[in-house]
Amino acid sequence: MIKKLLTIENIDVYFVIGIIVFFSLLETISGFLKNSNRKKGDWIQEILSFVILGNLIKPFIVFFVFSLGNMFLPEYRFVLGDLSFKGILLGYLLVDDLLQYWYHRTAHETRFLWKLHRPHHQAEEMGYFVSYRNAFIYYLLMPNIWWVALVLFLGGAKAVALGLILKQLVIIGSHSRIKWDKPFYQYTLLRPIIKILERIIITPTFHHSHHGTSKLEASSDPNGNFGNMFSIWDQLFGTATFHSTYPTTYGLQQKTEDSWSASYFYPLIKSKDKKSELSAGYKKLNTSSLNALTVPLTKRENYLWCACGMSKTQPFCDGSHHGSKFTPLKFSVKRTGNVKLCNCKKSNRTPFCDDTHIKLKK
Ligand code: FES
C-alpha cells in the first residue's frame, strides 16, 4: 500500500503541504495566530523561503547532480533498484540526519554560516513555518539536499519520498507551537513513553530548548540540541540536554531590526541596522582585558559569564558568542557581595579571577 502510494509523482510534496496545513490549522484553532506578535516580514520571509526551496533550489541541485552523474558515472544511475526498500530508507535517513546535525552545528559555530542561519533564531515565536526560515545560501550549501539528489540519481526515489515525509513531520512538529509532548510530561503514567521517544526522535521540548533565548533559563539550551529528526547524534556527540518544560522566551539576546530581504538574501543584501551582524562592515570586537572585573552578585541567582571575550556587557554574556565555538558559563554564588570575575578569559577557575591576568601582563 505504502509502496503503491509512493509511485504517485510528487507525493512527498503533497504530504509535506498536508503536514503544514495540518499544523497551521491546529495553531489557528488553538488561538496562537490571534495572539501572535509576528510581523508581515516574518511571513514574507518564511513563505518565500518555502516556495523558493521547493521550486528553485531543490530542482536546481537535483538537475545539477543528475547532469554530473550522467556525464561521469552513468553506470551508477538507478543502481539501488534491486536493494531492499527498508534498507535504502534507513540508510538514506541516517546519513541525511547525520549530515544535517553537523551542518546545523557548524552553522552555530562558524561566523559566515551563522549569519545564514541566524534568521531562524531571530523568530521570537515558534511555529510550523519557522523551520523554513534561513537565508537562501544556507539551503544551497545544505549537504542534505545534495544527498537527496544523489540518492535519487542512484535510484532511491521511493525511499527519499517516504523519508522526506517522515522527516518533515518530525521537524515541523518540533517547531510548532502545538506542544504535542506536553501531556507525556504531565502524567506520570505517560512519562516512560516520552523518555524513550525523546531519546530517538526530536520532540518539541527538545527542539524548543534550542530556540530558547538564554541558557539562564533551565529549559533553554541555545548552544545544544542540534538534531533535526533523531536525537541520537546529540547524545553521541555530547550536545544533548533533555527538559520537561518549555522556554518562556525565544529568539536572540541581541535584538536587531533586519528586513526580510536582508535576512533571506544575505550577503547579497545587507541589513540597514548597524547593530546587526548582517550589516555592512559589522565586526565583533574583543572586549576582554587584562583587568579583573569586580561586580556585585546576589546569592543563588544565576549568571552567564562570557567565555568568548566578545560581549559588550563584560564579564557577562550578551549573546555575541553565536557563530563561534564558545558557550557562556552558567554560575551562581553562595554569598551576596562583590566578586572578582575573570575578564582575561584565561583563569584556571573561571568564572572567578585567579590573578592569571597579572602574569599575562608581565
Ligand atoms: S558573549 Fe556569550 S560567551 Fe561571550
What are the residue ranges spanned by the domains of the chain? 2-236, 285-362
Percent of the chain with pLDDT over 90: 85
| Ligand 1 pocket check for 223: Cβ under 6 Å | no
- pLDDT (tens digit per residue) in 295-319: 999 999 999 999 999 999 999 999 9
Grid coordinates representing 320? 555575541
Closest listed residue to residue 194, CA positions, set 126, 242, 246, 127: 242
Q: What spacing in Å lies between the alpha carbon of 107 and ligand 1's midpoint? A: 17
Q: What spacing in Å lies between the alpha carbon of 360 and ligand 1's midpoint? A: 21
Residue 9 reports pLDDT greater than 90? no
| Ligand 1 pocket check for 123: Cβ under 6 Å | no
Residue 81 reports pLDDT greater than 90? no
Q: What spacing in Å lies between the alpha carbon of 314 and ligand 1's midpoint? A: 9
Strands annotated E in the chain: 293-297, 303-305, 329-331, 337-341
Q: State residue 52's pLDDT score.
A: 96
Q: What spacing in Å lies between the alpha carbon of 289 and ligand 1's midpoint? A: 14
- pLDDT (tens digit per residue) in 219-273: 999 999 999 999 999 999 999 999 999 999 999 999 999 999 999 999 999 999 9
- What integer is the mean pLDDT of 19-34? 86
| Residue type (1 letter), 348 | N
| Ligand 1 pocket check for 328: Cβ under 6 Å | yes
Residue 205 reports pLDDT greater than 70? yes
Return the percent helix, strand and coil in the chain, to nearest 5.
Answer: 50, 5, 45
| Residue type (1 letter), 351 | P
C-alpha dist (Å) from residue 32 to 26, 35, 177? 9, 5, 8
Minimum-distance ligand 1 atom for the alpha carbon of 329: 3
C-alpha dist (Å) from residue 276 to 48, 105, 110, 342? 22, 21, 17, 27
| Ligand 1 pocket check for 220: Cβ under 6 Å | no
Q: Which residue has a Cα nearest atom 2 of ligand 1?
A: 317
Q: What spacing in Å lies between the alpha carbon of 100 and ligand 1's midpoint? A: 25
Q: What spacing in Å lies between the alpha carbon of 144 and ligand 1's midpoint? A: 30
Query: CA 49 from chain center: how many Å?
Result: 16
| Residue type (1 letter), 29 | I
- Distance between CA atoms of 22 and 19, rounded to whole angstroms? 5
Closest listed residue to residue 207, CA positions, set 158, 251, 173: 173
| Ligand 1 pocket check for 306: Cβ under 6 Å | yes
Pocket-testing residue among 216, 220, 254, 311, ligand 1, by greatest number of atoms within 8 A of Cβ: 311
| Ligand 1 pocket check for 320: Cβ under 6 Å | yes
Q: Is the pTM of this model over 0.75?
A: yes
143 Cβ partners below 8 Å, 6+ apart? 99, 100, 103
Pocket-testing residue among 326, 343, 344, 345, ligand 1, by greatest number of atoms within 8 A of Cβ: 326
108 Cβ partners below 8 Å, 6+ apart? 114, 117, 223, 226, 322, 323
- Distance between CA atoms of 228 and 244, rounded to whole angstroms? 18
Q: What spacing in Å lies between the alpha carbon of 332 and ligand 1's midpoint? A: 17
| Ligand 1 pocket check for 252: Cβ under 6 Å | no
